[in-house]
Structure 1
Amino acid sequence: MGRSIAIGDIHGGLKALIQLLEKIKITPDDELIFLGDYVDGWSDSANVVSYLIEFAKQNTCIFIRGNHDDLTHRWLESDELNEKWLEHGGQSSIDAYRSFSSEEIKAHIQFFKQMVNYYVDKKNRLFVHAGFTNQHGPEQEYHDTGFYWDRTLWEMALSLDKNIKPDDMNYPKRLRLFDEIFIGHTPVTRINEDVPVKRANIWNVDTGAAFMGKLSAIDVNSKEIWQSEPVFKLYPDEEGRN
């Protein structure tokens, strides 16, 4: 039986991704769950997608959709430009795709289309980029955008008393639905952490690779953690996301 490994937000840091996978020492039996935001940040955004397309041919992978992936997909498919996207890393993806052929871009569009909004494994663990809002579960969510934009799930977990138990009457209903939840989207560097952080039953695996942090992965069973170098050190001539 292989490992199940969740990987945080990559944001175009291909060098960090390769370094991280080498540390993990992937085997054919492992399942890799990528938590989204493959693009927008460092200069290798498009190259990350190319790498993952090939990587998935030899490995068991689940690709969760992130908000930056959705925005890049929209631009690739219909030239839709979002000003906020351009301000927060979108320009790096536009620049990265300048040298790509139309056939390569078609393959990338297909990759984006095949992403899933969330994944629930056999042990009732949820993997989602950002969160969900419906108290009856993600399958009852009204709008897909919540899966890759909503921060309230993580904000709620941060606000809870650290001693509260799931059987407490005040324990949030959303958190009772799953044994564990693995997310990205909101860098833990915002709370001065540099490794994946657990609050309540939520593990946040985004360790700020888009900025000054590292790219991280976690074995969802053993909780072993692997990290790359700080990604900005691998791209010394770049600034990353603003």
Structure 2
Amino acid sequence: MRRTIVISDIHGYYQTFVALLNMVQYNAIHDRLVLLGDYVDGGPSSLKVVQYVRGLAKLNGVSAIGGNHDDMFLNWLDDKDYILSPYTSARNGGMQTIRSFCPWYEDESDDVKARSFIKQKYATDIHFLRNLKYFIEDQHHIYVHAGIDPQLSHWRHTSTKDYRWIRGKFHAHDGILPIFKKIVFGHEVTARLHHSKQFDPWFGKQMIGIDGGIKFGYQLNALIISEQQEYTYVSIESKD
């Protein structure tokens, strides 16, 4: 395959995602596409993103893993919402996700009806989200949504929660992990890794962070890895 294209944290920005694939001239026959999760929450079209990703994942050369926001949506759907940080809060962006499935959704008083409606009408999409992988590995890279636990004897022992939620403890070990592969991840907006208002991919010693913060109005990044293991990237602002 000619290139590996990696995108993370789409967050319901369907038009932006499609436009980015067009910008990088993604070719389903020649390119490999790796998607690192967080397909929902924030943007206006989470349902369309999920369905589009589900369709892409049927193609040879396309791999999709899940993110913490995908888990948050499933937890809400199973009536296991976070008490201190409700799924529908502005910070989480769940309200937009629920309304993409149920345009008639008003507020928490519609929760029971909405959960039943989504589980019945969109069973295939929910099944897809429930069965997303936690990581992908190839000869040169480990692809994960959030990261790995750097304190374990082997990174594969990382908990399912940490694969999708870990932050600072993972980032602090850049360059000292006993791993001979680059770790490509999303989850943490790259401006925090750059320690500046820069939302392009962040290149550490062993780690590459690619979340451009589209959920917060910034950009969606595509990391492009050539056959020669050279890195470039393309970024796009919101089109939604």
TM-score for both structures, normalised by structure 2: 0.82
Note if contact 2:34-2:64 (Cα within 8 Å) is conserved in structure 1: yes
Q: How does 1:98-177 map to 2 (within 5 A)?
A: 98-99=102-103, 102=119, 104-123=121-140, 125-133=141-149, 134-141=151-158, 143-157=159-173, 172=176, 175-177=177-179
Note if contact 2:119-2:126 (Cα within 8 Å) is conserved in structure 1: no
Note if contact 1:65-1:116 (Cα within 8 Å) is conserved in structure 2: yes
Which residue does the alignment assign to 2:217?
212
Unaligned runs of 5+ in 1: 161-170, 236-242
Q: Which runs of 4+ in 1 moved over 4 A?
A: 99-104
Residues 104-156 of structure 1: per-residue CA shift (max 9 Å, x gap)? 42111111122111111122x11111112143233222x31011111035530
Give distance in 1, aligned partners of 2:133 and 2:118. 26
Q: How does 1:87-98 map to 2 (within 5 A)?
A: 87=89, 88-98=92-102
1:34 aligns with 2:51: no
Deviation at 1:59, TM superposition (A): 4.9
Note if contact 2:57-2:64 (Cα within 8 Å) is conserved in structure 1: no
Unaligned runs of 5+ in 2: 104-116
| More moved, 102-111 vs 63-72 | 102-111
What is the RMSD of the two structures over their aligned residues, measured on CA atoms?
2.0
Give distance in 1, aligned partners of 2:75 and 2:81. 8
Change (3 A) 1:178 1:209: farther
Change (3 A) 1:4 1:91: same
Which residue does the alignment assign to 1:195?
200
Which residue does the alignment assign to 1:74?
75
Change (3 A) 1:136 1:47: same
Q: When the two structures are aligned, how many residues end up with a matched partner?
A: 215
Note if contact 1:131-1:152 (Cα within 8 Å) is conserved in structure 2: no
Which residue does the alignment assign to 1:13?
13
Identity over the aligned pairs, expressed in percent? Answer: 28
TM-score for both structures, normalised by structure 1: 0.81
Residues 160-199 of structure 1: per-residue CA shift (max 9 Å, x gap)? 7xxxxxxxxxx52xx2313201010010123321210112
Note if contact 2:148-2:170 (Cα within 8 Å) is conserved in structure 1: no
Q: 2:88 aligned to 86, 89, 108, which one? A: 86
| More moved, 102-111 vs 12-21 | 102-111
1:222 aligns with 2:236: no
